[in-house]
């Protein structure tokens, strides 16, 4: 084979290898599905809420033993991303026609809390951990955690004091998801009414302007009426 032909062959092979690498890389860099016992977490959630008693009972046992501890472990410990991996994802995403299904650490932790909430009352044993997450004052986690407390039907005597403490951001503005969560507890959340009334003057976002009046109407209709809320 002539040198020029060999060079052309090697160039073609190199280019083909590069193309194959670019096509395969997004799959290897993508965030894998969260699985327990080989099944996606969504499968366990669906089984837990299925109408089949046998399937539901098996899923409940798996929730206590594996799923719930696994999700809590993600929230507590999955806090870092490899710098090289993030760089590679950014470089690939900048190329036309290529997208990497990559969820960063903050997103993975939030998704774990949302999955926990989808488990419903079967995940009630996670309430102490959810209260712990609220106390971290992590802006990424507080909203989903407040929603999860409602979804697992956390006892009002435990949830409401923690939610009330988490209602305000460090800048003094309110957190709409927390206000919404308090509203879900209805009259049991009356201790939060004074703070919610103060937040009627919070115009920092459309969400908080909607959430606070709605929560007040659900918790204390009389107080809401006196404040001019209809």
The pLDDT of residue 189:
97
Segment 35-63 shows an average pLDDT of 90
Query: What is the pTM (predicted TM-score) of this model?
Result: 0.85
Kindly state the tokens that stand for 7. 């060079």
Check residue 5 and give its pLDDT.
45
Q: What is the model's pLDDT at position 28?
A: 73
CA 95 to chain centre: 29
Phi and psi dihedrals of 123, rounded to 5? -105, 20
Residue 137 has pLDDT above 90, yes or no: no
Q: Which residue has the higher pLDDT, 56 or 144?
A: 144
Q: What is the pLDDT of residue 200?
A: 94
Burial class (CB in 10 A: 0-12, 13-18, 19+), 109: buried
Domain count, the chain: 2
- State mean pLDDT over 126-139: 92
Mean pLDDT, residues 182-194 = 96
pLDDT at 23: 55
Is the pLDDT at 19 greater than 90? The verdict is no
Residue 131 lies in a domain: no
Which residue carries 């039907």 as its tokens? 153
Residues with Cβ within 8 Å of 74's Cβ and at least 6 positions away in sequence, in order, are 34, 108, 109, 112
Alpha-carbon dihedral angle through residues 110, 111, 117, 122, given to the nearest 10 degrees: -120
Do 171 and 119 lie in a common domain?
Answer: no
Question: Is 16 within a domain?
Answer: no
CA distances from residue 76 to 12, 147, 197 in whole angstroms, order as listed: 48, 18, 34
* Domain span including residue 221: 155-230
Q: What tokens appear for 224 in the block?
A: 């809401």
E strand intervals along the chain: 35-36, 39-40
pLDDT(10) > 50 = no
Q: What is the pLDDT of residues 192-210, one digit of tens each?
A: 999 999 999 999 999 999 9
Q: Are residues 168 and 108 in the same domain?
A: no
Say how far apart CA 29 and CA 37 lie, in whole Å.
Answer: 22
pLDDT of residue 153: 96
Identify whether 140 is part of a domain.
no
Distance CA 218, CA 43 (A): 34
The SS3 call for residue 39 is strand
Instruction: Tell me whether residue 175 is in a domain.
Output: yes
Considering the domain boundaries, does residue 15 fall inside one?
Answer: no
What distance separates the 2 farthest-apart alpha carbons in the chain? 93
Does position 18 have pLDDT exceeding 50, yes or no?
Answer: no
Burial level of 54, CB count in 10 A (0-12/13-18/19+)?
Answer: exposed
- Same domain for 52 and 114: yes
């Amino acid at each position: 084979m002539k040198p020029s032909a060999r060079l052309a062959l090697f160039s073609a092979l190199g280019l083909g290898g590069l193309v194959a690498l670019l096509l395969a890389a997004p799959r290897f860099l993508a965030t894998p599905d969260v699985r327990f016992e080989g099944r996606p977490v969504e499968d366990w959630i669906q089984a837990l809420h299925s109408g089949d008693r046998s399937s539901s009972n098996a899923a409940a046992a798996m929730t206590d033993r594996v799923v719930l501890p696994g999700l809590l472990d993600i929230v507590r410990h999955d806090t870092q991303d490899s710098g090289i991996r993030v760089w590679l994802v950014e470089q690939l995403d900048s190329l036309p026609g290529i997208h990497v299904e990559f969820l960063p650490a903050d997103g993975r932790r939030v998704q774990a809390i949302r999955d926990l909430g989808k488990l419903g009352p079967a995940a009630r044993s996670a309430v102490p951990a959810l209260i712990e997450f609220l106390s971290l004052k992590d802006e990424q986690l507080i909203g989903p955690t407040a929603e999860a407390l409602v979804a697992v039907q956390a006892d009002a005597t435990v949830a409401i004091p923690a939610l009330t403490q988490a209602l305000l951001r460090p800048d003094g503005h309110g957190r709409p998801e927390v206000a919404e969560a308090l509203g879900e507890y209805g009259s049991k959340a009356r201790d939060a009414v004074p703070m919610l009334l103060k937040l009627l003057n919070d115009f920092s976002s459309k969400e908080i302007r909607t959430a606070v009046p709605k929560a007040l109407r659900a918790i204390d209709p009389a107080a809401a009426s006196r404040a001019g809320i209809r």
